[in-house]
Amino acid sequence: RNRKRLVDCRSDIDRWNAPFLAIYESLVPAEEEKAKQKQLLASLEKLVNKEWPRAQLYLYGSCANAFGVSNSDIDVCLAIEDTDINKSEILLKLAEILQADNLQDVQALTRARVPIVKLKDPVTGISCDICINNVLAVVNTKLLRDYAEIDGRLRELAFIVKHWAKKRGVNVTYQGTLSSYAYVLMCIHFLQQRKPAILPCLQGMEATYVVTVDDIECAYFDQVQKLREFGAKNTESIAKLVWAFFDYWAHLHDYANAVISVRTGSIISKRAKEWTRRIGNDRHLICIEDPFETSHDLGRVVDKYSINTLREEFDRAANIMQYDPDPCVTLFEPY
Ligand code: ATP
Ligand code: MG
């Protein structure tokens, strides 16, 4: 297959700015939803503190990273110091406490890759997953949220890409397609690479935020309010960026050799990371480096079948953005 791009961006691309922004606006959650989430978190914390007085609850994932659509589930991390008790025991105890307080559908999934307790709050109707001591996820949530403050186009692009991925069925990790987290990293990296750049590389700047989690030092410049003008020299519109994002993943990305890296704000080689061979189930068919757990490839869920599905979807999206008379509708048609 010849994947070389043959054409430049259609000249009428900016006609779709307003419709894309309208889609973005329709996905952004209302303020009262945030308030409900905070309220649920506070009542959960009270319950948890009866059993573990020093434990703390943190929101992470899309409810806290600025990339959450309305009515999504919330992700909560229980940070607890007692390392002598094992996670399964804590989860089972937690499930017992929550059940006794009349929370609905309480379920402890102790054997999942990330063990969690699931529940639904009958008062707010919010569903919630609670994990234990997954502090790295809390830190990468902050990194994503900080990037979102720098230039509004990141949030717009990521909402549109996540919406597309959900509608097209390519946001299902157990089927070998990518997580929401991976898609947001793809968007950040893409905006770091625009010329001129729309986003900086926060981990390449003087560190103003430093924490060590599970022996990994997480350090980056987090005074993002000082970077609000960073992307101003680039005036690309949201429609152009959506076009260019899919053009990149359909035609320009070097799947054989390249790893995208938000940590360095650049492309690095698979060879440098020793991601050229399949080891166990890690095939590295599309490589997205985790910004902190750098040995972790977020593309590792992708297998030899799902890589074709993904690339066909990128091709389809790129074609629609280039040729379709109504890209804002066609792009999101259910598969
Ligand atoms: P959605 O709106 O689809 O729920 P989300 O941002 O909550 O999106 P998830 O993929 O559910 O995304 O992941 C929740 C959080 O868990 C992420 O924001 C990230 O902090 C963390 N996370 C998810 N997958 C990974 C991973 N493979 N490695 C490290 N952290 C991850
Ligand atoms: Mg989530």
Write out the residue range of the structural domain in which residue 35 sits: 31-136
Residues 109 and 150 occupy one common structural domain: no
Residues 168 and 260 in one domain: yes
pLDDT value of position 317: 98
**What is the 62 CA–ligand 1 centroid distance (Å)?**
7
Mutate which of 72, 179, 300 for ligand 1? The one with the most ligand atoms within 8 Å of its CB, which is: 179
Residue 22: predicted pLDDT: 98
10 and 240 Cβ atoms separated by less than 8 Å: no
For residue 68, give the ligand nearest its CA: 1
Q: Are residues 70 and 206 in the same domain?
A: no
Question: Quick one: 22 and 39 in the same domain?
Answer: no
- Boundary of a domain, candidates 136, 170, 195: 136
123 and 154 co-located in one domain:
no
Task: Indicate whether 161 and 305 sit together in one domain.
Answer: yes
Residue 8 in domain: no
Neighbours of 201 (CB within 10 A): 19
Q: Which of 105, 35, 119 minimizes the C-alpha distance to 75?
A: 119
Whose Cα sits closest to atom 6 in ligand 1? 62
Q: What are phi and psi of 268, to 5 degrees?
A: -120, 170
Q: For residue 179, how far is its CA from the centre of ligand 1 (angstroms)?
A: 7
Is residue 177 located within the same domain as residue 147?
A: yes
The pLDDT, as a whole number, for residue 1 is 47
The distance in angstroms from the start CA to the end CA of the chain is: 23
> What pLDDT score was predicted for residue 113?
83
Residue type (1 letter), 236: E
Asked whether residue 40 is assigned to any structural domain, the reply reads yes
Number of domains in the chain: 2
∠ CA 170-171-176, rounded to 5°: 70
pLDDT of residue 308: 98
- Distance separating alpha carbons of residues 216 and 249, to the nearest angstrom: 30
Strands 258-261, 287-289: parallel, antiparallel or unpaired by DSSP? parallel
User: Using one digit for the tens of pLDDT, what is the confidence trace for 265-279?
Assistant: 999 999 999 999 888
pLDDT reported for residue 279: 81
Identify the CA nearest to 284 among candidates 309, 258, 261.
258
Helix (H) or strand (E) holding 319: helix 306-323
Residue 266, CB half-sphere, CA atoms under 13 Å: how many? Answer: 5
Q: Are residues 19 and 101 in the same domain?
A: no
The answer to whether the beta carbons of residues 165 and 179 sit under 8 Å apart is no
Q: How far is the CA of 132 from the centre of ligand 2 (A)?
A: 15
**Dihedral sign, CA of 317, 319, 321, 323?**
negative
pLDDT the model gives residue 7? 77
198 assigned to some structural domain:
yes
Residues 169 and 126 in one domain: no
Q: Which of 63, 71, 73, 75 to mutate for ligand 1's pocket (most ligand atoms within 8 Å of CB)?
A: 75
Ligand 1 binding site (Cβ under 6 Å of any ligand atom): 60-62, 65, 67-68, 72, 75, 137, 140-141, 179-181, 290, 296, 298
Whether 87 is covered by a domain: the verdict is yes
* Most informative mutation of 33, 37, 62, 127 for ligand 1 (most atoms within 8 A of CB): 62
Atom of ligand 1 nearest to the CA of 61: 18
Structure tokens at 238: 């949201």
> Is 313 inside any structural domain?
yes
Examine the fold and report which residue of 80, 105, 136 is the final residue of a domain before the chain moves on.
Answer: 136
- Residue 137, class by beta-carbon neighbours within 10 Å (0-12 exposed, 13-18 middle, 19+ buried)? buried
Instruction: Give the residue from 120, 136, 152 where a domain finishes.
Output: 136
State the helix-helix crossing angle for 31-51 and 87-100, rounded to 10 degrees. Answer: 110
Would you say residue 170 lies in a domain?
Answer: yes
Residue 5 lies in a domain: no
Q: Give per-residue pLDDT as tens, 266-323.
A: 999 999 999 998 888 788 999 999 999 999 999 999 999 999 999 999 999 999 999 9
Cα 305 to Cα 115: distance, rounded to the nearest angstrom: 27
Q: Is there a single domain that holds both residue 51 and residue 186?
A: no
Residue 220's domain is classified under what CATH number? 1.10.1410.10
Asked if 129 and 207 sit in the same domain, the reply is no
Q: What is the CATH number of the domain that holds 36?
A: 3.30.460.10
Angstrom CA distances, 125 to 42, 226, 280, stand at: 15, 38, 41
Same domain for 314 and 192? Answer: yes
Which parts of the chain register pLDDT below 50?
Answer: 1-2
Each residue of 169-179: b (16+ CB within 10 Å) or e?
ebbebeebbbb
Q: Find the 257 Cα to ligand 2 centroid distance in Å.
A: 30
Q: How far is the C-alpha of 261 from the C-alpha of 293, rounded, in Å?
A: 11
